Amino acid sequence: MTELNQLISYLLRTTVGFDYLTNTLTNKPQGDVTFPPYNIVKKGDETSIIVALAGYAPSDIEVVVNESNLLINSLPGTGKSEDEGLYLHRGIAKRQFRLGFTLGRYVEVKEASFVNGILSVKLTQVIPEEKKPKQITIISG
């Protein structure tokens, strides 16, 4: 059952727009570590994916949306420099990464910003007018 919980947890962490499912999962798998670290935060109607990218520049990162998939990754050559010198301790990892998220129905990427080593991708759910609930007038007779 632990493997199933790990799979469900992974799917919920990488799927944005399915908030009703996240309330059903209470057990988190042990030792589940990802790089780079990220948070998914919901404020009102807006959801943000916040990724900690200390040491990266905006030109090192690519944010791509393809249908219902959001991909955040580092560009080739990231983390390689000839003038770096000898590290006595390397606590800030600047390596290539790839984060993928499946977006829920009608979820759109609103904007992406990079400030002080933090990438913030804002998402919003835009429901078409024809899919929104409608009040039907009752005609009496």
| Pairwise pLDDT comparison (25 vs 121), residue with the higher score | 121
Identity of residue 73: N
pLDDT of residue 9: 63
DSSP letter, residue 69: E
Say what percent of the chain tops pLDDT 70.
71
Chain-centroid distance of CA 46 in Å reads 13
What residues form DSSP beta bridges with 115? 118
Q: If you average pLDDT over residues 106-123, what whole number do you get?
A: 94
In angstroms, the CA 132 to CA 30 distance is 40
Determine the 3-state secondary structure of 42 from DSSP: strand
- pTM higher than the cut 0.75: no
pLDDT at 26 over 70: no
Q: If you average pLDDT over residues 81-97, what whole number do you get?
A: 76
pLDDT of residue 8: 62
Environment class of 50 (CB within 10 Å of its CB; exposed 0-12, middle 13-18, buried 19+) = middle
pLDDT at 31 over 60: no
Q: What residue has token string 């580092």? A: 74
Environment class of 72 (CB within 10 Å of its CB; exposed 0-12, middle 13-18, buried 19+) = buried
Half-sphere exposure of 30 (CA within 13 A, CB side): 1
pLDDT at 93 over 80: no
Give the domains, in start order, of the chain with CATH numbers.
33-79+93-131 (2.60.40.790)
Q: How far is CA 42 from CA 6, 17, 64, 73, in A?
A: 22, 10, 21, 22
